[in-house]
Amino acid sequence: MARFALMMAVLAFADPSNASASPAPVGCSAAEYRQLDFWLGDWDAYDAGDAGTAIARTHVDLIAAGCAVHELYEQTDGLIGDSILSFDAARQLWQQTWVTNRGSLMVIAGRFNNSAVTLEGEMHTGDGRTLLQRITWKVEGSDVRETAVVSKDSGKSWVPAFDVLFRRHSAA
């Protein structure tokens, strides 16, 4: 009798409609999720003003079944930056959360437009300051260029922060 009661309890909680259903599709299939595919890969990063010596190595990969982009940036002076970029379908925006081994945190958002993605938002420095930063990624031939401007006065004025050129890493 106990065996029959146990079997009835299991059947009561079983959902027969799920028994033959196939698993839900994984990943993000909308075209917007592929807008940053140009940046995927293994890169050497250069100061755009001096493309002779690499300043960093960067790995950019799809994660979360293609729903996000992970960047690991390792600069030759020891700076390490790690970020997740994701497309927010509800807001129709890209968002990046970036953190460094020097205590900085940046959360920026924006849109893909005219073959480039531009994101803007707050950067909190390791020493407690808050700045506005605007970053743009775009394809330049076989390279990717990332430029940034920063504002220390709540967006009234902007000055260049960095200009980096990413070139595919070669094993040679």
Residue-wise pLDDT tens digits, 57-108: 999 999 999 999 999 999 999 999 999 999 999 999 999 999 999 999 999 9
The answer to whether 126 and 148 have CB atoms below 8 angstroms apart is no
pLDDT tens digits, residue range 126-137?
999 999 999 999
Distance in angstroms (rounded) separating the CA atoms of residues 145 and 32: 20
Beta carbons within 8 Å of 29's beta carbon, 6+ residues apart: none
Q: DSSP H helical segments within the chain, as ranges?
A: 2-13, 16-19
Q: Locate the domains of the chain by residue range.
A: 35-168
Q: How confident is the model over 30-61, as pLDDT tens digits?
A: 999 999 999 999 999 999 988 789 999 999 99
CATH 2.40.128.20 fits 35-168, yes or no: yes
Q: Is the separation of the CB atoms in 46 and 54 below 8 Å?
A: yes
First-to-last CA distance in the chain?
A: 73
Six token digits for residue 156: 């009234």
Which letter does DSSP use for residue 128 in this model?
S
Q: Is the pTM here over 0.95, yes or no?
A: no
